Structure 1
Amino acid sequence: MRVSTVNLFSLSKFIKHHHFIALRSVSALAQLKPLSSDSDSDSGAQNTTKVVETLNRLKKKPIDALSYFYNLIKAGFLHDVCTYAAIVRILCHFRLNKELDLIFLQIIRKQNNVEFEVIDLLEALYNDGSDSFVRVSNAMVKAYVVLGMFDQVVEILFLTERHGFVFPISSYNFFMNQLVHCGKVDTVLAVYQQLGSLGLSSNVYTYVIVLKALFKKGCLQEAFEVYSEMDKAEVTPNEFAYSTFIEGLCMNGELDSGHQLLRAWAATKIPLGAFAYTVVIRGFCNDNRLEEAEGILLFMETQGVAPDVRVYSALISGYCKFGNISKALALHSEMVSKDIKTDCVVVNLILKCFCQLGRVSEAVHRLKELEEIGIVDNISYNVVVDALCKLGRVDEAMVLFSEMKDNQIVLDVVNYTTVIYGYCLQGKLCDALILLKEMKEKGHEPDLVTYKILAVGFARCDFEQEAIDLLNDMKKQGLEPYFARDNMIIEGLCLGGKVKEAEAFFHSLQDKCLENYSAMFNGYCHADCSEKAFQLFMRIFKPGFSASKGSIFKLLNSLCINGDNAKAKMLFDRMQTLNLEPSKIMYSKLIGTFCQAGEMGMARSVFDILISRGNTPNLMTYTMMINGYRKVNCLQKAFELFNDMKRQGITPDVVTYRILFNIHSKINLNSSSSS
């Protein structure tokens, strides 16, 4: 069904126009050079003929043919274009794509003494039929992409006409799609510009890929123009084209426009699949517009589009993100009742939400239930094990860890590191090292996180030398630059309460870098040395300062608790320049601190920033502000805030009404005194 672009372009008026970014050619397109082609000698032609004949006899037994091919290599036989072409034909016929990919990787890497070029093999296979040639060309493109040799693909694709043939448009589509996945969007656009010079006509898949690239680059206006080109070329958009356009708008901050377009297209009976609805639902969920997201679910069902696991996963993720586990569970039950099979992604969202809400025992119970029906993976276990370890319930975590082994769940470095972290938290370093040894025996090498956890654990327990030895071992493996090892020692000593030792080690470092200062700041925050942390932060803050977000929030919270309101406000202002967004809880704490101190100007400033970030203050935050204004006798502002709260649909509770009654009493008392 063709769709007029009039409505689409009227919609584009609502989107901020971006400056047109000219499509730039890549180097391989700017300087097209013919590939060299080696001429093989005639020596060994008889052996080659016999090998080809044998492979042809084995063409109905691809595994035997492949085994014969590789056994010849082991025996010292040098395959040429003819023998490679014979085995490639067999692999293509039986669609053995992995084996085909490996063949092309060998040719490109010049393994097994390959003495010809890819282009020679392509010439030999060109007349075998379009389906086989497409399969071969895709394998060639994939091999080059895997090796990161993008310019070489461009060179081959745009020079093969000199060898008597041109690749089909599907091969260019395959290459451009691979480029999009690798983030090479400029190359995609450059290739697209050159297709016309080869006499190739773009099809719907070409346009979809180009739209993806433009949206990934943030070029909305150019995306509208490409859609117009598709319309002029009378190429009928398919479900993927429509979904790509809606997704592109949503991912570029135009969620409402994407929603508007979804409903407009649905009204004209354009074929939209579940994915188009999913991207809008996910956008609403990310913006905490959960009721609107559920409205899309109901709307898609009225349009005859059945929701799938991705739709429900987006909704469940949204409710879990904002801590509404009961709603998430209700949606999960609804999904199962519709015979939509749940998966590990959905399950892990629910388990993580339980843990974040502190309901770890319920997470353990649900994990056991899900394990019985086989809907868990190593990530599911790790979510719960991590939560137990952080609560100091390492023995319970080890029970689950053992169950993973009993249930034949494949463990990875993350699973081992999580339990090692639990042991280190409890100071059980011997147990941690035993687990480290087991991890290595199972073939899992420790990563940076594992080493850091162990180093911090050693430093906290007075094993400074052991920590240094461990980090030296890490250095031998080439895992991290030297300054990072120093930072681990600094933070580890502070975690162990050895702030003076950490300071001494820090001052002993020559040519300190910004990361070292960041580590000292993090260490001060861990050790609750808020004054030193504040002074260091304010003194050395500048772009590149990589203090952890958690440490900065911890310092902000500490300053609030200690009543250092002016410093808390200075730190909060500095956080704005860092684009560090506090949680709603942190906003609430900061507002509460300022209200308690009677600093209503500061409190209102933070309150307004909270709203400007698209957040709606909750009942507690509104109540604190109203009470704060009552204390400083700004009664009119208190009432204005109360009315604003009601407009937001927030129902006052008994505490709010008690404060308002107090305000009324004060107004009446003042009126009586004045009369």
Structure 2
Amino acid sequence: MDQLRSTCTTSYALLFATDCLIKTCTTCCSAQDTIGLFGDLCRLGIVPAAWTCNILLKFAAEGGDSEVVVSAYDQIKEFGLTLDAHALVLITRSLFREKKADKAFQMWVEMIEMGVKPDVIAYSSFITGLCDCGKVDLAYAILQEINREGIQVEDMAYNTVMDGLCKEMRLQEAEMLLENKTRQGLTPDIYGYSYLIRSYGKAGNLLKVLDHYQAMVSHGFETNCHIASYLLQCFMKLGMTSQVTEHFQKLRDSGLHLDGVLYNIAMDAYCKDGNMDEAVKLLREMKAEGLTPDRVHYTCVIKGYCLKGDVPNARQAFEVMLKANVKPDVVTYNILASGFCKNGLVTEVFDLLDHMADRGVAKQGKFVDRFACSKLMNDLCRDGNAQGASTVCSMMLENNVIPDVISYTKLISAYCQTGDMHNALLWFHDMVQRGLSVDVIVYTVLMNGYCKVGQMEEACKLFDQMTSLGIKPDVIAYTMLLDGHLKEYLQRCWQGVSKERRIYVLRTKQNRLLSSMKKMEIKPDVPFYTVLIDGYCKAGDFEKARGEFDEVLQKGLTPDQHVYAALICGYCSQGEIEKAQDLFEEMVDRGIKPHVLAFSVLNQKTLRERQYK
């Protein structure tokens, strides 16, 4: 090459030889060696053509390492060689491929300042690359700027930016971009309409979905299964199941190719309407059309049967699924387990969990994911089956799946509801030992359980423990303790304790709680005042009870029927019928529906008073 440079009479021959040498190196040398040889040629005084530079950049880019491409670019820049728009595409595209959007933008600006003029392909590639790296704002700004300059880009660039804007739910900007594209003389394509229909469907904006759907049709584009699914999904989101099935039938009659997604949406609509016969018909129709139902389709049918409480058919659909060699996932098992649980079939639930393990659904030592087990625990607790929930919890822990705080709290609450404080406390201690963050809610649940079984001393110990740990009690915790003390007072009434002593003890505990609330800056609410007023009434301190009632009004709180009932019943117990009647009329005048107990007590006392007179 040095000899040729010295003797060659035409520049074309030298450029041709340089081009051939670099091409040859790309077949038998590494990128770095080729870049080194390219630099050696330039040092000889040879000035390679732009297309030769592009051969080098393309070869460097094929290795997939953007640093090598930048190294080739630096070599070219060092010798002040001229680059073209194709080089701009090669360099920035390699950086975008590695998600180095900032570096790509830097190179773009630098090369343009060096005199490289982007063409339609370069602009389109650059805008698309920015969107792929999540730089939608920058891509949108560049597209708007080149639109103002009258520079056109490929449809792909418009569609990529529109897709990015729609995914970020910036739908008005996406619509404006579609209008700008039309003003640039470019014909709208089906992709832009597809993005808008999809995103407006997710937002539940049916009017916009239909507007763009009609605009798409008016431009001569036929709908496809993807766009049709966006439309049906919008109907489903809005609960318009009848429109889903009606439109599905029209699509089927039109001869449109229906895919598995469309079938699933229609099946889901029939299931939500409770029309399981039609849902199963669609499952059979899929098979007849050569489509293979997958896990989603079978799970949809199983869920539909469970919603109707038809567990036998849900179980049968599950068996058909297994025979078809379709593997259920955690969602499928969870739906079926929930269906069993709601129908009291706890044994079947545990059999199902064993089945999951046998089928290999649970991996890495886990029977089932935390969500599925937690939901099962919650269902069992809701149905009052604390023992069943406890078994599920134990099974989770054996398989290194730790329930969350909510699941533990519901399990403890279920035992408290049955008065089994021993097991409630055991699970509370287990929760603490596993390092879960114990909050005021679980303490309140446990304290309430002790109050119900008359163990106020244990409830108070828990309250002190909670505050010593820095957990601030809420008004519910104070209300529960106040109510517990009141019930304790009433219980002692039957144990021969003098009334004066009982009243003294009750007032002392009430005042202590009120003082603690004030210190904690916790404001009493209407339920708290209800218990407080009821306590004063039962202790015979009606002046204090009325004072607390007036305080409710002064604080701007709205007394409910329970507050009125507490005071009315108190007045009636002391024979102060007129005060009770006045309070009753005041309650009615305020538009508050009378409590049945207050109405009954007042009515009985009034009748007795009339009989006495």
1:488 aligns with 2:442: yes
The correspondence of residues 550-561 of structure 1 with structure 2, limited to 5 A, is: none
Q: Deviations over 1:133-180 (max 9, x none)?
A: 677434311xx6xxxxx877766766665689887633532442553x
Structure-1 separation of matches of 2:233 and 2:281:
18
**Deviations, residues 92-150 of structure 1 (Å, cap 9, x unaligned):** 5xxxxxxxxxx88xxxxxxxxxxx89965886899998997677434311xx6xxxxx8
Aligned to 2:348: 396
Q: Which of 95, 112, 118 is 1:137 aligned to?
A: 95
Q: What is the match of residue 224 of structure 2?
A: 273
Q: Percent identity?
A: 17
Q: Which residue of 1 aligns with 2:190?
A: 239
Change (3 A) 1:393 1:300: closer
Q: Which residue of 1 aligns with 2:550?
A: none
| Whole-angstrom distance in 2 between the partners of 1:170 and 1:521 | 66
Structure 1 residues 387 and 295: CA distance shift in structure 2, 3 A: closer
Q: 3-state SS of the aligned residue for 1:339?
A: coil
Paired with 1:255 and 1:312, the residues of 2 have a C-alpha distance of 21
Offset at 1:343?
2.1
What's the counterpart of residue 337 of structure 2?
385
C-alpha contact (below 8 Å) 1:208/1:240 kept by paired residues: yes
Summarize the Cα distance change of 1:446–1:254 in structure 2 as closer, same or farther, 3 Å threshold.
Answer: closer
Determine the structure 2 residue equivalent to 1:360: 311
1:322–1:158: structure 2 CA closer, same or farther, 3 Å change rule? farther
Bigger Rg, structure 1 or 2: 2
Show CA shifts across 1:275-300 (max 9, x none).
11111222223333333333332443
Q: What SS is found at the alignment partner of 2:439?
A: helix
Q: Which moved more, 1:195-204 or 1:282-291?
A: 195-204
What value does the CA root-mean-square deviation take over the aligned residues?
Answer: 5.4
Tell me which residue corresponds to 1:210: 161
Structure 1 residue 384: Cα displacement: 0.8
Q: Say which SS state the counterpart of residue 340 (structure 1) adopts.
A: coil
Q: Show the 5 A alignment for 1:75-154.
A: 89-90=62-63, 92=64, 136-141=94-99
Q: CA deviation at 1:380?
A: 0.9
- The aligned counterpart of 1:350 is 301
Which residue in 1 is equivalent to 2:19? Answer: none
Matching of residue 295 in structure 1 with residue 259 in structure 2: no
Which moved further from structure 2: 232-241 or 362-371? 232-241
1:409 to 335, 343, 361: 361
**Which of 245, 251, 260 in structure 2 is aligned with 1:309?**
260
Is 1:435 the counterpart of 2:435? The answer is no
Compared CA separation, residues 323 and 224, structure 1 to 2 (3 A): same
1:320 maps to 2:280: no
**1 CA distance for matches of 2:279 and 2:451?**
41
Higher RCO structure, 1 or 2 (CA under 8 Å, sep 6+): 1
Matches within 5 A, 1:222-621: 222-263=173-214, 265-266=216-217, 269-301=220-252, 303-375=254-326, 376-411=328-363, 412-414=368-370, 415-417=372-374, 425-427=385-387, 431-432=391-392, 434-440=394-400, 461-462=420-421, 463-475=423-435, 482=437, 485-491=439-445, 498=452, 505=462, 509=467, 535-536=526-527
What's 1:169 paired with?
124
Structure-1 separation of matches of 2:61 and 2:194? 36
Q: Distance in 2 between matches of 1:455 and 1:156?
A: 62
Q: How many residues align?
A: 420
CA gap 1:438/1:270 in 2 versus in 1, 3 angstroms: same
Rounded to whole Å, the distance in 2 between the matches of 1:392 and 1:262 is: 47
Kindly state the Cα deviation for residue 370 of structure 1 after the two structures are TM-superposed.
0.6
- Helix, strand or coil at the partner of 2:309: coil
Q: CA deviation at 1:267?
A: 5.6
The CA distance in 1 between the partners of 2:527 and 2:110, in whole Å, is: 60
Question: Matches of 1:200 and 1:327 in 2, distance apart?
Answer: 54
d(CA) in 1 for partners of 2:158, 2:529: 51
CA spacing shift, 1:400–1:467, aligned 2, 3 Å: closer
For the residues of structure 2 that align with 1:469 and 1:329, how far apart are their CA atoms? 49
- Please state how far the C-alpha of 1:371 moved relative to its aligned partner: 1.3
Distance 1:118 1:505 in 2: 68
For 1:345, the aligned partner's letter is V
Letter in 2 for 1:331: L
CA contact (8 A) 2:201 2:230 kept: yes
CA distance in 1, matches of 2:59, 2:447: 65
Does the CA-based 8 Å contact 1:319-1:325 persist in structure 2? yes
The answer to whether the 8 A contact 1:282-1:318 is kept is no
Distance 1:318 1:135, change over 3 A: farther
Report the TM-score when normalising by structure 2: 0.53
Between 301-310 and 191-200, the greater mean CA deviation after superposition: 191-200
Change (3 A) 1:346 1:567: farther
- Which structure 2 segments of 5+ residues have no match? 1-27, 34-57, 77-82, 482-523, 531-558, 562-590, 594-613
